[in-house]
Amino acid sequence: MKTKGFIFDLDGVIVDTAKYHYLAWKALAKSIGIDFTVHQNEQLKGISRESSLNKILEWGNKTLPKDKFMELMKEKNNQYLSYITTMDENEILPGVTQILDYISQRKHPIALGSASKNSKIILQKVNLLDWFDAIVDGNNVTKAKPDPEVFLKAAKAINTPANQCIVFEDSVAGIQAANVANMISIGIGDSTILNEADFVFKDFTEIHVDFLERLIKTKKEELKKV
């Protein structure tokens, strides 16, 4: 049996920070006279800080000079950081610690594949950093999801071929990135939103050991047929 590599997105998969990104972007957008819906917010999940601001400006039909753009990105991040200062283990999403434990006991490598530049601080705050063999995040990539760069770099960092990697994602852009990378994509969240994923679960408590065993034993090409 070949070793499988497990790649986790961070925000909305490992920790409940997607809500803080939403609140911070919503306030920032409001300050420049733009509003957007929870539905539109799905498009902001998984993409970089810069791409998010570009999308919000597009929704509001606005353009900004470079210095103002940079200032707003900083403002959003400061607001976001203020939300996460008091974060601790309580914000780890259900079933995450158990699945990390299951995978590492079986000696499969674990990587983070996130667009966030704050990933290390967050993993430290919730005390999960030590589970990861590699961290690839917004500080190491130049192309935002749905580009597969972040996942391909993560696969390389854990020395596992792309088609032996399994990606957990809560965003449409992230599922698309995993699919383009030829990895097994597992959506965590709403199956109507994440309908491009190979499999979708509401949260990790819905993923049972028999499914994990099948994931580990079966080749990507065979997996969906079983």
CA-CA distance, 184 to 20, in Å (whole number)? 28
217 is in an annotated binding site: no
CA-CA distance, 146 to 173, in Å (whole number)? 4
> Of 7, 29, 44, 155, which one interacts with ligand G6P (CB under 6 A)?
44
The one of ligand G6P, Mg ion, none whose footprint includes residue 44, by CB under 5 to 8 A per kind, is ligand G6P
Contacts 24+ apart (CB under 8 A), 74-82: 75/28, 75/31, 76/24, 76/25, 76/28, 76/49, 77/24, 77/49, 77/118, 79/23, 79/24, 79/27, 79/28, 80/20, 80/21, 80/24, 80/118, 81/118
Of residues 54 and 77, the one with the C-beta less far from ligand G6P? 77
Decide: is 52 part of the binding site for ligand G6P (CB under 6 A). yes
Decide: is 176 part of the binding site for ligand G6P (CB under 6 A). no
Catalytic residue among 11, 88, 147, 198: 11
Please give the positions annotated as active site.
Answer: 9, 11
Binding region: 9-11, 25, 44-49, 52, 76, 114-118, 145, 169-170
Residues that bind ligand G6P (CB under 6 A): 11, 21, 44-46, 48-49, 52, 77, 114-118, 138, 171
